[in-house]
């Protein structure tokens, strides 16, 4: 899973001669975060990109609306098979008029005006090709999933006006002998709608969908960043606190229990017996989480575990502060 767009900005602010922005409907323009995935950062100034991409928020149809010089045409060709052809103005309008409501079967989300559309790749191939194109601009190291594999599950978060707010792809793996592990691969909130709590809405809706599926035993994430790990823990904690079930691995369940214990018991006196017992439990958890990182030599083991403990507690404290 790629890094979130706010983790490492690769379009250079100081490089004022290049501009590549997206406008979703009537929302404010958003700069692309990761043009370096198509051009080296050092080449952006030479290419003098002055481009705005207009995006229809319901269909994700995209149109280059400015600068059609040779550099931009060369850039468009570099985007690969997903974006090898952008429509012209007239084609764009015709496509919008004929697209219809792709997400008409979206199901309502509990306690929300938003809806979740869950589908197989064959149900929304063109729409997902467009979403995958967007991911290349906003998630570092984003990769394209194989939409010819029918096992992929796709989730779209939409509002009451059918605007697409978020997207997630997940793959069900066999969990021996007869269960499934649902692994989240891509997770994305459309830039104009970020930092509004919609990521939590999407994640919890996916978790609730997994809970309703008796074959799914746990929900995991492919190569998550530290930020996403904290995001997931915060939402798992909130669901547990609300009395809702979660489907997580045994190790994840242990972390949720430790974080909940730390928060609910206000364990903050490092000299107290309760904190000493808590510290031991966390270090036992860390030994299971990082078995290859723990040296066998006693003094080194103590030092490594203490460093890992401080790192883990820093993350737990951040999660608790977010939820307070």
Q: Give one DSSP letter per residue of 108-143, joined into a string.
A: EPTTSS-EEEEE-GGGSHHHHHHHHHHHHHHSBT--
The two beta strands, 50-55 and 19-24, are parallel
Beta-bridged to residue 175, according to DSSP, are 179
* Residue 148 per-residue DSSP state: T
Q: How far apart are CA 310 and CA 282, in angstroms?
A: 10
pLDDT digits (tens, 9 = 90+) for 138-163: 998 888 899 999 999 999 999 988 89
Note every long-range contact of 43-51, with CB atoms under 8 Å and residues 24 or more positions apart, other chains counting: 44/11, 44/12, 44/15, 44/18, 45/15, 45/17, 45/18, 47/18, 47/71, 47/74, 47/75, 48/17, 48/18, 49/18, 49/19, 49/20, 49/75, 50/18, 50/19, 51/19, 51/20, 51/21, 51/75
Q: Using CA atoms, how far apart are residues 79 and 42, in angstroms rounded to an integer?
A: 18
- DSSP assignments along 45-61, one per residue: HHHT-EEEEEE-TTT--
**Domains of the chain as residue ranges with CATH:** 19-248 (3.40.630.30), 255-323 (no CATH)
What is the chain's pLDDT, residue by residue, as a tens digit (324 residues)? 544 444 334 444 444 456 788 999 888 899 988 877 666 655 555 556 677 888 999 888 888 766 555 555 666 566 555 455 455 566 666 655 554 445 656 788 887 889 999 999 988 888 898 898 889 889 988 888 999 999 999 999 999 888 999 999 999 999 999 999 999 999 999 999 999 999 999 999 999 999 999 999 999 999 999 999 999 999 999 999 999 999 999 999 999 999 999 988 767 666 688 888 999 999 999 999 999 999 999 999 999 999 999 999 999 999 998 875
State the pLDDT at residue 218: 97
Report the C-alpha gap between 288 and 160 in whole angstroms. 45
Sign of CA dihedral 138, 141, 144, 149: negative
Provide the sign of the torsion angle of the four alpha carbons 219, 195, 237, 240, taken in this order: negative
Please name which of 206, 285, 190, 213 lies closest in space to residue 239, comparing C-alpha atoms: 206
* CA gap 189, 168 in Å, rounded: 9
The two structure tokens encoding residue 317: 């404290």
What span, in angstroms and rounded, lies between the C-alpha atoms of 186 and 135?
9
Instruction: Cite the beta strand spans of the chain per DSSP E.
Output: 19-24, 30-31, 50-55, 62-64, 107-108, 115-119, 153-158, 164-175, 179-189, 216-221
What is the three-class DSSP state of 171? Answer: strand
């Amino acid at each position: 899973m790629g890094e979130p767009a706010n983790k490492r900005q690769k379009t250079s602010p100081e490089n004022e001669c290049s501009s590549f922005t997206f406008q979703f409907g009537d929302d404010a323009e958003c700069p692309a975060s990761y043009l370096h995935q198509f051009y080296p950062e050092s080449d952006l100034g030479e290419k003098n990109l002055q481009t705005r991409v207009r995006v229809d928020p319901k269909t994700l149809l995209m149109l280059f609306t400015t600068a059609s010089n040779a550099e931009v045409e060369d850039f468009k060709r570099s985007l690969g098979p997903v974006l090898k052809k952008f429509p012209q103005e007239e084609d764009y309008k015709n496509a919008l008029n004929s697209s219809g409501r792709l997400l008409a079967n979206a199901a309502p989300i509990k306690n929300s005006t938003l809806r979740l559309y869950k589908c197989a790749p064959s149900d929304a191939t063109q729409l997902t090709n467009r979403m995958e194109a967007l991911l290349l601009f906003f998630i570092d190291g984003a990769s394209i999933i194989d939409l010819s594999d029918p096992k992929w599950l796709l989730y779209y978060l939409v509002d009451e006006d059918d605007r697409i707010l978020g997207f997630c792809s997940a793959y069900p793996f066999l969990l021996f002998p007869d269960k499934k592990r649902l692994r989240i691969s891509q997770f994305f909130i459309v830039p104009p709608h970020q930092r509004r709590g919609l990521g939590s809405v999407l994640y919890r809706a996916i978790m609730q969908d997994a809970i309703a599926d008796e074959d799914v035993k746990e929900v995991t994430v492919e190569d998550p960043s530290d930020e996403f790990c904290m995001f997931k823990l915060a939402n798992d904690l909130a669901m547990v606190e609300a009395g809702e079930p979660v489907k997580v691995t045994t190790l994840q369940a242990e972390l949720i229990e430790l974080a909940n214990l730390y928060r609910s018991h206000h364990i903050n006196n490092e000299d107290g017996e309760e904190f000493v017992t808590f510290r031991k439990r966390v270090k036992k958890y860390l030994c299971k989480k990082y078995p290859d990182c723990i040296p066998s030599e006693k003094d080194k083991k103590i030092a490594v575990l203490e460093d890992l403990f401080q790192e883990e507690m820093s993350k737990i404290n951040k999660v608790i502060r977010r939820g307070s």
